[in-house]
Amino acid sequence: MKKLYKTVGYVVLFIIVAVGILLLYVKLALPAIDVPKDLHVEATPTRIERGRYLAYHVTVCMDCHSARDYNLFSAPLVEGTDGKGGEVFDQKFGFPGKFVARNITPFNLKNWSDGEIYRAITSGVKKDGSPIFPVMPYAYYGQMDNEDIYSIIAFLRTLKPIDSTPEDSKADFPMNFILHTIPQKPAPTQMPDASNEVEYGKYLTFSAGCFECHTKADDKGKKLAGMDFAGGWAFNIGGGKTVTAANITPDKETGIGNFTREAFIGRFKAYADSSYKAHTVGKNEFNTIMPWMMYAGMSEKDLGAIYAYLKTVKPIKNSVEKFIYKPVASL
């Protein structure tokens, strides 16, 4: 019996050591994604302008990497904070840790090479080789046309440097280990010609993060099979308010099946009107994290292409309660 106990003890010890070595490997060796060699982005006026358009109105980099005023509808950017970072995505939103958007102005990126910025955007790996939590949808950015990524890099170099160093992100256990396995090498594609409206719209739809926010995931972050674009992801925005992503499939009862092309485009462009001003939201009133005013800057051609693509996806009947308010008890 003693010999059996001794054998079991050795087996347990071996397993513990093996697991320890595996975790150490994951923590120290991954993600194993190299910086692209000799990448030097020429900052042409065309690239800078394209990058500005993407960063503000399609990939909306400036949405998460700037301060937003949640006292106003749709939480518009706080003037003068463009790219300074600091937006927090933590446990109250359902994330496995506290993840803080970095400063992406030249104040922080001045010592980053173009290749290091490219790797961060397309693979989710920082300058020091550590992983980025995929609240930044780098898996989708990694499938964008390289020319679009180069344009974003060129634009970021033009931002006004802002002296700001947000706190470091910190993943909860076991995500602090799992996180190292998530970044993948980019698989860039060529942007479809705009004349192929559906494919062009698909490219924009995934670049803009529509799939990411409008497709519900399980508690491990895996998207639910068969629920593409059907909404249902709930976001706790504080103050007892929960807003849920809408169903944007072509289902006529619960999605956008009854939207005409003009109505879809108009839904966005209403926020681009020069007379529009975001109103102050009361403590029990509806608000949303959807950055309407940023997407409103997308061209009608691009919004129309997104509509054309969404009309081709599978209609899914999924009724979503978009807003819930439960007063927070005072202490």
pLDDT 10s per residue in the chain (331 long)? 666 656 655 555 666 666 566 555 555 566 889 999 899 999 999 999 999 999 999 999 999 999 999 999 999 999 999 999 999 999 887 789 999 999 999 999 999 999 999 999 999 999 999 999 999 999 999 999 999 999 999 999 999 999 999 999 999 999 999 999 999 999 999 999 999 999 999 999 999 999 999 999 886 678 999 999 999 999 888 888 999 999 999 999 999 999 999 999 999 999 998 889 999 999 899 999 999 999 999 999 999 999 999 999 999 999 999 999 888 665 4
330 located within any domain: yes
Query: Which residues span the domain enclosing 314?
Result: 214-331
Residue 281, pLDDT score: 95
- Assess if residue 279 is contained within a domain: yes
The DSSP code for 137 is -
Decide: 78 and 67 in contact? Cβ < 8 Å.
yes
248 belongs to a structural domain:
yes
3-state secondary structure of 217: strand
Query: Both tokens of residue 38?
Result: 């000799």
Structural domain includes residue 224 = yes
Residue 169 maps to a domain: no
What values do phi and psi take at 242, rounded to 5?
Answer: -130, 125
Q: Would 106 be classed as within a structural domain?
A: no
In a domain, 237, yes or no: yes
Q: Taking the model in full, what pTM does it have? A: 0.92
The pLDDT of residue 275 is 86
Residue 127, Cβ neighbours under 10 Å: how many?
Answer: 15
Total domains in the chain come to: 1
> Is 141 inside a domain boundary?
no
Contact status, residue 85 vs residue 100, Cβ threshold 8 Å: yes
What's the pLDDT at 195? Answer: 96
